[in-house]
Structure 1
Amino acid sequence: MKRLILMRHAKSDWSAGASSDHDRPLNARGQRGATALGVALREKAIMPDQILSSTALRTRETCEFLGLDGSPEVSFQRGLYLATQDEIFGALQRAIGDVVLMLGHNPGIAIAASQFVDCVPDHPRFDDYPSGATLVVDFDIGEWEAVGWQSGKVADFFTPHDFT
């Protein structure tokens, strides 16, 4: 079995005056939200052994504020910055961990979330996949190369708002 944790970056700071979208940081609410998500992952014993993340500042900061222990392998990939669902799918097929956390951006992350599962979760925020939205999905496969659309079973879905 393989497990995917598909997370959108926490709330970013549009007023930070970043020189580019790629360099936009988290705002204070985003920092608190990412910290809350990390606590939730630990309390639910959902711990990744590999993290695949966009190189954008807001995804790197989300990763940092999660405060995950156990030193999962982290790979920051430029190809995950504003990636489409197909690019996310391809990156996942190359993953090596058993429990993979992917950190990315809308709209690709939201579309991928809806396409990975056989049945979407009953949560009022799933369809708009807000900042910090986190889907946990299990796949009955031995290797990520065998992952397919609509083949995953939802194990959990939550947002920072559920904990703050």
Structure 2
Amino acid sequence: MKRLILVRHGKSSWKHNLPDDKRPLKKRGERDGLLVAKSFSSFFQKPVTVWSSPAVRALSTANIFKSELAIEDKHFNIITSLYTFDSGDLYSQIKNCDPGIDKLMVFGHNPAMTNLVNKLGDSYVDNVPTTGLTVIDFETNSWENLKNGKTILSLFPKNLR
């Protein structure tokens, strides 16, 4: 069995004139990250491998989860190619995950996250909101042929406030 945990980055700030990948989290993004991570902690099981986009807003969100869930550095990876908005690109990277890894948590961007949640899971969502988390389980031993996933959890900040 494989478990895929997809997390969209927290709410980012447009306050400063910065390149897109340098935009930081707003205070709300930080609060929502902590809120979702704390809610997820009762469901969370180790070991998990974490992949994060290098964009400041995604990496900051991933670091909130890393701290709250006590994820070790050796399981935490920043992957440049995860700075993508295309679900096909994101899916291609996930398919190349080491088959020895059973739980993969990915921090990235929309619309890739929403499209992938809808492609792989069995519950449709109009939009994965900022700091939205979705867990999808697959009855397979390989990341290469993910299909017919079962969406077992969706945590969205507005439902937790």
- Residue 144 of structure 2: SS of its match in structure 1? helix
1:11 partnered with 2:11: yes
Q: Distance in 1 between matches of 2:129 and 2:153?
A: 15
Structure 1 vs Structure 2 CA RMSD: 1.6
User: Normalised by the size of structure 2, how large is the TM-score?
Assistant: 0.89
- Residue 145 of structure 1: SS of its match in structure 2? coil
After superposition, the Cα gap between the structure-2 partners of 1:2 and 1:113, relative to the gap in structure 1 and judged at 3 Å, is same
Match of 2:137 in 1: 138
Q: Distance in 1 between matches of 2:45 and 2:155?
A: 12
Q: Distance in 2 between matches of 1:47 and 1:111?
A: 26
Percent identity reads 27
Q: Residue 120 of structure 2 is aligned with which of 116, 119, 122?
A: 116
Match of 1:161 in 2: 158
- Residue 51 of structure 1: SS of its match in structure 2? strand
1:47 Cα shift? 4.7
Q: Distance in 2 between matches of 1:48 and 1:128?
A: 28
User: How many residues align structurally?
Assistant: 156
1:103 partnered with 2:107: yes
- Structure 2 unaligned regions, length at least 5: none
- Residue 146 of structure 1: SS of its match in structure 2? coil
After superposition, the Cα gap between the structure-2 partners of 1:114 and 1:39, relative to the gap in structure 1 and judged at 3 Å, is same
1:30 Cα shift? 0.4
Match of 2:38 in 1: 39
Match of 1:64 in 2: 63
After superposition, the Cα gap between the structure-2 partners of 1:134 and 1:89, relative to the gap in structure 1 and judged at 3 Å, is same
Question: Deviation per CA, 1:54-89, whole angstroms, max 9, x where unpaired?
Answer: 110001100111222141612211211123111111
Q: Distance in 1 between matches of 2:108 and 2:123?
A: 19
Q: Distance in 1 between matches of 2:41 and 2:96?
A: 25
Checking the alignment, whether the CA contact within 8 Å between 1:48 and 1:100 is kept in structure 2 is: no
1:90 Cα shift? 1.0
Whichever residue aligns with residue 31 of structure 1, its letter is E
Q: Distance in 2 between matches of 1:18 and 1:74?
A: 29
After superposition, the Cα gap between the structure-2 partners of 1:131 and 1:103, relative to the gap in structure 1 and judged at 3 Å, is same
1:98 Cα shift? 1.0
1:46 Cα shift? 4.5
User: Normalised by the size of structure 1, how large is the TM-score?
Assistant: 0.88
Match of 2:23 in 1: 24
- Residue 4 of structure 1: SS of its match in structure 2? strand
Q: Distance in 2 between matches of 1:48 and 1:163?
A: 25
1:18 Cα shift? 4.6
1:142 Cα shift? 0.6
Structure 1 stretches of 4+ with a deviation exceeding 6 A read none
